[in-house]
């Protein structure tokens, strides 16, 4: 199939074309931009989690790959994709000019989401976002643009403040913020962002004990993966003529009191 290349039984490298002419506000446009990602679809999966990586990271991040494996084991498909082209990544490594460009990253994530809804292998799956650091801002901004598609959002050590108040107020999907106990400044940012999710009924901030921003302490990343896998954010909840999911429940640990 065009755009899909077998690597091993359940993993494929996907190349997603980006139509820059439809994304007028993007900086550093390319006439033939292509994003790469790792797609895994377990048997009988009914949902897919798209990973939006943090600043300076990529789809090869061991932390996100670990969480993705836990989700795959729980029966969810995953797509770990880079939101920058190879050329842009090379520039960003030297200048850091793209990693905080939430407008660029969110529009790329919208394009990836649209690709999922059009690809025969993924178009019947319900879609959720998992965003880390600045990737969480991109996920929230993208969800505000695709509110009829996104079923849930999980943010790990995120910077939701970078999404902007306008985007936050237009998010509709259930949202779980996960922050490390010792990431004090980011806790405040997440608390403030959560207050601005006016259209979200189910939202929660979960503090992971003893964790810092990158969740490098023993057991902390495992807790993140556990919370994410238990959320089952993409359960089938009915459909309209195309696909309309009702907001599914967050995990017990994330439900408001």
Can you give the pLDDT at residue 245? 38
Read off the pLDDT of residues 191-250 as tens digits, 9 standing for 90 and up: 999 999 999 999 999 999 999 887 888 888 888 888 877 764 444 332 332 344 333 444
Contacts of 169 (CB under 8 A, 6+ apart): 196, 197, 198, 199
Task: Tell which wins on pLDDT, 214 or 94.
Answer: 214
- Residue 139: the pLDDT is 96
Read off the pLDDT of residues 146-181 as tens digits, 9 standing for 90 and up: 999 999 999 999 999 999 999 999 999 999 999 999
Q: Single out the residue of 149, 194, 137, 138 nearest to residue 173, CA to CA.
A: 149
Cα–Cα distance measured from residue 45 to residue 57, given in angstroms and rounded to the nearest whole number: 27
Are 176 and 250 contacting, i.e. CB atoms less than 8 angstroms apart? yes
**Dist CA 47 CA 72 (whole Å):** 10
The sign one gets for the Cα dihedral 192, 66, 104, 125 is negative
Please tell me which residue, 57 or 26, carries the higher pLDDT value: 57
Residue 55's pLDDT band (cuts 50, 70, 90): low
Domains of the chain: which residue ranges? 12-233
What average pLDDT does the structure give for the chain? Answer: 80
Greater confidence (257 vs 124) lies with 124
Distance CA 116, CA 48 (A): 9
Q: What is the pLDDT of residue 231?
A: 63
Please tell me the distance from the alpha carbon of residue 111 to that of residue 22, in angstroms, as a whole number.
10
Q: b/e string for 195-209 if b means 16 or more Cβ within 10 A?
A: ebbeebebbbbbebe
Give me the architecture of the 12-233 domain, per CATH. 3-Layer(aba) Sandwich (3.40)
| pTM as predicted | 0.81
């Amino acid at each position: 199939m065009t755009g899909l290349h077998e690597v091993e039984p359940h993993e494929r490298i996907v190349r997603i074309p980006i139509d820059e002419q439809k994304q007028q506000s993007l900086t550093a446009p390319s006439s033939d931009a292509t994003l790469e990602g790792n797609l895994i679809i377990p048997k009988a999966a009914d949902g897919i989690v798209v990973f939006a990586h943090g600043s300076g990271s990529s789809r090869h991040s061991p932390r996100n790959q670990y969480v993705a494996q836990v989700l795959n084991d729980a029966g969810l498909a995953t797509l770990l994709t880079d939101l920058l082209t190879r050329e842009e990544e090379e520039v960003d490594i030297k200048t850091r000019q793209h990693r905080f460009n939430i407008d660029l990253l969110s529009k790329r994530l919208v394009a990836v989401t649209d690709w999922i809804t059009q690809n025969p292998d993924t178009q019947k799956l319900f879609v959720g976002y998992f965003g880390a650091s600045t990737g969480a801002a991109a996920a929230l901004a993208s969800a505000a643009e695709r509110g009829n598609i996104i079923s849930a959002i999980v943010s790990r050590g995120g910077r939701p403040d970078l999404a902007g108040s306008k985007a936050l107020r237009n998010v509709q999907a259930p949202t779980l913020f996960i922050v490390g106990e010792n990431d004090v400044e980011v806790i405040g940012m997440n608390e403030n962002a959560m207050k601005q999710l006016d259209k979200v009924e189910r939202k929660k901030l979960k503090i992971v004990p003893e964790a810092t921003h990158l969740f490098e302490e023993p057991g902390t990343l495992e807790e993140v993966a556990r919370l994410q896998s238990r959320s089952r954010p993409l359960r089938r909840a009915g459909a309209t003529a195309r696909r309309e999911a009702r907001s599914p429940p967050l995990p017990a640990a994330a439900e408001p009191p």
